[in-house]
Amino acid sequence: MPQTPSGGAGNGAAADTGLMSIGGVLSVLREEFPEVTISKIRFLESEGLIEPQRTPSGYRKFSAGDVERLGHVLRMQRDHYLPLKVIREHLTALERGEAVQPPVLGRPGDGDAAHEPAPDGPAAARVGRDRLLAAVGVDEPTLAEWESYGLLTQVGDGVYDAESVTVAGLIAELGRFGIEPRHLRAMKAAADREAGLVDQVVAPLKRHRNPQTRAHAEARTRELAALTVKLHAALVQSALGVRLP
């Protein structure tokens, strides 16, 4: 698979000429993308954005080029707010040797016009309903069903935050195994409870008079969120008696 433009994460992986486990890849990527998870890497693989090698026992092994490509995909999501379908098309063009610039996601309501990212940063990224449907590859009734179970929530009229693309993609992937939206209500409820616990812990920092302390609340939230995700994954693996590669 051809290498894509490099960045911080890609440079860190390129120095290693050997193959890496998914845990090693996670460590490299988190230098630039603190919120990336093993589940995210697996999801990007399932979407055909990377193709790691497999050992005879089924374990993933990533080359430096795989890690570089992952960094490029994550960078395009973070900096340009692009859905996976658009990223895949961009990478395909690069593989054909075309000199292309990363497209920029237009703000909802602007049609196909491209704009610079909003100055508020990644948190301000917004995805229109049509773009969400196209990115995940589902129809309107399916998306409406997901919303009826509270799995996706609009942040405005027909507008979603950027993370909704990831959530929708995972829901679609689980659906291929026969897991229906109604089965996921318990997972959503558990996630809400975990988020509530994190909010409870960081609430004193958010209310503090010192601006620096209040600013530290966001970093603490990210740290606790990452630990919560790790614990949740470990508990599920323990309950199932499996060890994921």
Q: Could you give all domains of the chain from N- to C-terminal order, each with its CATH number?
A: 8-95 (1.10.1660.10), 105-179 (1.10.1660), 181-245 (no CATH)
pLDDT band with cut points at 50, 70 and 90 for residue 63: very high
CA distances from 125 to 83, 111, 121, 122, 198 (A): 11, 16, 7, 5, 23
Q: How far apart are CA 3 and CA 97, in angstroms?
A: 11
Q: Which one-letter DSSP state was computed for residue 209?
A: S
Q: What is the mean pLDDT of the chain?
A: 79
Q: Quick one: which of 183, 170, 219 has its CA closest to 198?
A: 219
Q: Quick one: which of 85, 111, 133 has its CA closest to 141?
A: 133
pLDDT tens for each residue of 154-185: 988 888 887 888 888 889 888 888 999 999 99
pLDDT band with cut points at 50, 70 and 90 for residue 22: very high
Q: Are strands 126-128 and 159-161 parallel, antiparallel or unpaired?
A: antiparallel
- 125 CB contacts (<8 Å, ≥6 apart)? 81, 105, 117, 118, 161, 162
pLDDT, position 101 = 65
